[in-house]
Chains A and B, each alone.
Chain A
Amino acid sequence: MEWETVIGLEVHVQLSTQSKLFSGSATRFGAEPNTQANIFDLALPGTLPVLNKDAVKMAVRFGLAIDAEIGRRSVFDRKNYFYPDLPKGYQVSQLDFPTVGKGELTFTMDDGTEKTVGITRAHMEEDAGKSLHEDFQGMTGIDLNRAGTPLLEIVSEPDLRSAKEAVAYLKKLHSIIRYLDISDAIMAQGSMRCDANVSIRPKGETEFGTRTEIKNINSFRFVERAINYEVQRQQDVIEDGGRIVQETRLYDADRDETRSMRSKEVANDYRYFPEPDLLPIVIDEDFIEAIRADLPELPDEKKQRFMAEFKLGEYDAGVLVSSRELAEYFEAVVKISGDAKLASNWVTGELQALLNKNNWEVSESPVQAERLGTLIARIKDETISGKIAKTVFEAMLDSEAGVDEIIEEKGLKQVTDTGAIESLVDDVIDNNPEQVQQFKEGKEQVLGYLVGQAMKLSQGKANPGQVNQLLREKMK
Chain B
Amino acid sequence: MALSKAEVEQIAHLARLQLSDADIDDVTNRVSDILKLIDQMQSVDTDDVEPLAHPHDAVQRLRADEVTETNNRDALQELAPESQDGLYLVPKVIE
Contacts and interface: CB of A to CB of B under 8 A. Distances in A.
Q: Do chains A and B touch in the complex (CB under 8 A)?
A: yes
Interface of A: 17-19, 23-26, 32-39, 42, 50-56, 80, 82-84, 131-133, 136, 138-144, 250, 261, 263, 266, 269, 271, 274, 276, 278-282
B90 A24 contact: no
Given A26-B67, A37-B76, A141-B84, 16 more contacts: A19-B69, A33-B87, A34-B86, A38-B69, A51-B60, A51-B62, A82-B16, A133-B95, A139-B90, A141-B87, A141-B88, A144-B88, A266-B13, A279-B60, A279-B61, A280-B59
A134 to B, nearest CB: 10
Given A19-B68, A34-B73, A140 B89 contact: yes
Contacts of B48: none
B60 A139 contact: no
A14 to B, nearest CB: 14
B84 A136 contact: yes
B53 interface: yes
Q: From DSSP, what is the main secondary structure of chain A's interface residues? A: loop
A19 B66 CA distance: 6
A281 B59 contact: yes
29 contacts: A19-B65, A19-B67, A19-B68, A34-B77, A35-B71, A35-B73, A36-B69, A37-B76, A38-B69, A51-B60, A52-B62, A52-B65, A53-B62, A54-B64, A80-B14, A82-B16, A132-B87, A133-B93, A133-B95, A138-B92, A139-B89, A139-B91, A142-B90, A263-B95, A271-B14, A276-B54, A279-B60, A280-B59, A282-B59
Interface of B: 13-14, 16, 53-54, 58-69, 71-73, 76-77, 82, 84-95
A425 B58 CA distance: 88
Contact of B63 (A53, A132, A269): A53
Contacts of B73: 32, 34-35, 37
Contacts of B58: 279
A18 B14 contact: no
Contact of B90 (A23, A84, A281): A84
A80 B15 CA distance: 9
A281 B62 CA distance: 9
A325 B61 CA distance: 35
Contacts of B84: 136, 141
Contacts of B65: 17-19, 52-55
A138 B90 CA distance: 9
A431 B3 CA distance: 107
Contacts of A83: 93
A39 B89 contact: no
Contacts of A266: 13
Q: From DSSP, what is the main secondary structure of chain B's interface residues? A: loop
Contacts of A24: 63, 66-69
A138 B94 CA distance: 11
B67 A133 contact: no
B84 to A, nearest CB: 6
A252 to B, nearest CB: 11
Most chain B CB neighbours (cut-off 10 Å) among A34, A53, A80, A261: A34
B90 A133 contact: no
B33 to A, nearest CB: 22
A38 B73 CA distance: 8
Nearest to B93: A140
Contacts of A280: 59-60
A276 B67 contact: no
B89 to A, nearest CB: 4
Contacts of A142: 87-90
A151 to B, nearest CB: 15
A17 B95 CA distance: 30
Contact of A25 (B53, B67, B85): B67
B53 A276 contact: yes
Contact of B62 (A56, A136, A143): A56
Given A17-B65, A139-B82, A36 B71 contact: yes
Nearest to A83: B93
Contact of A18 (B13, B54, B67, B91): B67
A296 B40 CA distance: 56
Contacts of A52: 62-63, 65
A138 B89 CA distance: 10
Contacts of B63: 24, 50-53
A25 B77 contact: no
A258 to B, nearest CB: 14
Contacts of B93: 83-84, 131, 133, 140
Contacts of A281: 59-60, 62
Nearest to B90: A84
B93 to A, nearest CB: 5
CB-CB nearest 3 A-B residue pairs: A24-B68, A141-B87, A53-B62
Contact of A263 (B60, B76, B82, B94): B94
A53 B62 CA distance: 5
Nearest to B77: A34
Contacts of B95: 133, 250, 261, 263
Contacts of A50: 61, 63
Contacts of A25: 67, 69
